[in-house]
Amino acid sequence: MCELLAISSRLPTTVEFSLERLARHGGIEAPHRDGWGVAFYDGPDVLLLREPRAAAESELVRCIEKFSPSSQLVISHIRLATQGEVALRNTQPFIREMGGYTHVFAHNGKLTGIEAKSDFQPQRFKQVGNTDSELVFCILLDRLERLWSRSDGRLPELAARLDVVAQFAAQLRPHGPANFVYADGDVLFVHSHRRTQQDGEIRPPGLHLLERACDEFPPDLSAAGITLADHSQEVTLVASVPLTEEPWQPLAEGEVAVIRHGSFIECCSS
């Protein structure tokens, strides 16, 4: 299965990381050769870099390692193709504009047959590629659009956004593993479900979370190729599998968490 990583911080920080090392974590290096991508938020906008090739073979990844931009929110994805050919249009994360903000989405799992369901037909937002992941992103934005179209340039109420995301996540789970991270330019939504574990079985947890307060040293993620530059940060990291020996917390099956500026601010079970 693919791997997800999201890093949220109170202050902009330089995240110097290696997608190659992330893919290698847990002894699953070889399969993750079908693409990589990373989105760096800068206010409501995003710098998106991605390629439909192995991160280990990418000069662009080497460049990011040396010249990573500062950001309060970073979302990364390493792909093992299960739907759609290996191509740029099928490489995550995916982005769209809505309400004057750039929305970012990345999914880990396989939602078999979801494209044939009548309630999963895209309306305003259309696919560029042909993956289940991009399809469900488009459907999610269709369902959120009514909130954003009525906001008059302001952010819709967080409770209303969370309600839509949680209900949507609950609809996805019967179709297969549905772990995802979704950011709307204000907060990061995280949905944990199930994933293929090291023994080959599909079961929870789908995602893990690690928090660090500003009065603590940031986690040492050098083994995963990640360096957090500011030692006075509040940082929350979300990953498919723990990246260090620190006390990562598995998220419960069906849990939807909301993270803003490095702080875990709300959660619900959908």
- The angle at the Cα of 103, spanning 257 to 176, to the nearest 5 degrees, equals 55
Q: Residue 195: pLDDT above 50? A: yes
Average pLDDT over residues 150-166: 91
- Domains of the chain from N-terminus onward: 3-269 (3.60.20.10)
pLDDT at 230: 56
Q: Which residues pair with 46 in a beta bridge?
A: 41
Per-residue pLDDT tens over the stretch 117-138 = 988 999 999 999 999 999 999 9
Category of 26 on φ-ψ map: left (φ > 0), alpha (ψ -120 to 50) or beta: left
Of 78-82, 88-92, 164-168, minimum mean pLDDT range: 78-82
Q: Residue 29: pLDDT above 60? A: no
What distance in Å separates the CA atoms of residue 49 and residue 138, rounded to the nearest whole number?
20
Longest dimension (CA), the chain: 50
Contact 268/166 with Cβ under 8 angstroms? yes
**Per-residue pLDDT band at 26 (split at 50, 70, 90):** very low
Contact 16/227 with Cβ under 8 angstroms? yes
Average pLDDT over residues 155-162: 96
User: The tokens of 234 are what?
Assistant: 């509040």
Task: Give residues with Cβ within 8 angstroms of 24, minimum separation 6.
Answer: none
Q: Residue 215: pLDDT above 90? A: no
